[in-house]
């Protein structure tokens, strides 16, 4: 049985604010730019613990087999690297870039921006995604990867928004189920900002 961590609990009300550096704030004010406040949704300790659990699940499923992580650029890069560091199997890296968002809005259309560069035929593929909401991007990507005749294809996501799901997906590994919030940090961005935050936060 797959275990999924959820923050649909009382704990989700106990997030604390990451205060904006006043020097940076003044700089943004001088430039007429708006800097949003980011509230911690999943802290570093919870991320670390859950990544360890996901790594154990993957190693159990694949025994000593080689694995290819296909990371969805750019948001999944941090999650992919941190997860791979915890896995003892040989893990190859591949990247693919898709586009379906502008700012915080989904365009509803998935566009392929960067294709895979290596051969994945006959290999065990795990698609690494930062977040799944409607499932449109992952549905497109899963079918796209199947064209290359891999041995197997599984999906691993750091975050999932069940309330947003439109496409039915069999997601094999889920880090956390979260409410319908726009999240940043741990590789995820808002107009290319906040990617390097060490936690998952929400803007507002």
Residue 16 has pLDDT above 90, yes or no: no
pLDDT band at 168 (very low <50, low <70, confident <90, very high): confident
pLDDT at 112: 80
Mean pLDDT lowest for which of 9-18, 44-53, 118-127, 154-163? 9-18
Q: Is it the case that residue 33 has pLDDT exceeding 80?
A: no
Percent of the chain topping pLDDT 70: 78
Q: Is pLDDT of 88 > 90?
A: yes
Kindly state the average pLDDT of the residues 1-15.
41
Cut 0.85: pTM above it: no
pLDDT averaged over the chain? Answer: 83
pLDDT value of position 47: 98
Work out the number of other CB atoms within 10 angstroms of the CB of residue 180: 9
pLDDT of 37 over the 90 cut:
no
**Whole-angstrom Cα distance, residue 189 to residue 197?**
9
pLDDT bracket for residue 2 (50, 70, 90): very low
**pLDDT recorded at residue 106:** 57
Higher pLDDT pick, 15 / 145 = 145
Higher-confidence residue of 28 and 65: namely 65
Mean pLDDT across 28-56: 82
Q: What is the mean pLDDT of residues 144-173?
A: 93
Q: How confident is the model at residue 102 (pLDDT cuts 50, 70, 90)?
A: low
Domains of the chain: 5-203 (3.40.50.2020)
Give the per-residue pLDDT at 116: 87
Provide the annotated active-site residues.
Answer: 133
- Average pLDDT of the segment spanning 6-25: 41
């Amino acid at each position: 049985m797959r275990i999924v961590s959820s923050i649909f609990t009382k704990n989700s009300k106990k997030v604390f604010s990451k205060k904006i550096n006043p020097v940076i704030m003044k700089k943004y004010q001088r430039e007429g730019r708006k800097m949003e406040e980011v509230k911690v949704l999943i802290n570093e300790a919870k991320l670390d613990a859950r990544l360890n659990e996901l790594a154990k699940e993957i190693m159990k499923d694949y025994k000593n087999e080689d694995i290819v992580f296909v990371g969805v650029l750019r948001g999944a890069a941090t999650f992919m690297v941190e997860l791979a560091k915890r896995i003892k199997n040989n893990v190859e890296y591949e990247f693919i870039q898709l586009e379906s968002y502008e700012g915080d809005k989904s365009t509803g259309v998935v566009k392929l921006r960067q294709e895979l560069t290596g051969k994945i035929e006959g290999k065990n593929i795990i698609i690494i995604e930062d977040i799944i909401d409607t499932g449109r991007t992952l549905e497109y990507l899963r079918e796209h990867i199947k064209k290359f005749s891999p041995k197997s294809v599984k999906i691993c996501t750091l975050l999932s928004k069940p309330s947003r799901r439109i496409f039915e997906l069999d997601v094999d590994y889920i880090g956390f189920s979260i409410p319908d919030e726009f999240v940043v940090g741990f590789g995820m961005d808002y107009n290319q900002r906040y990617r390097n935050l060490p936690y998952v936060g929400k803007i507002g």
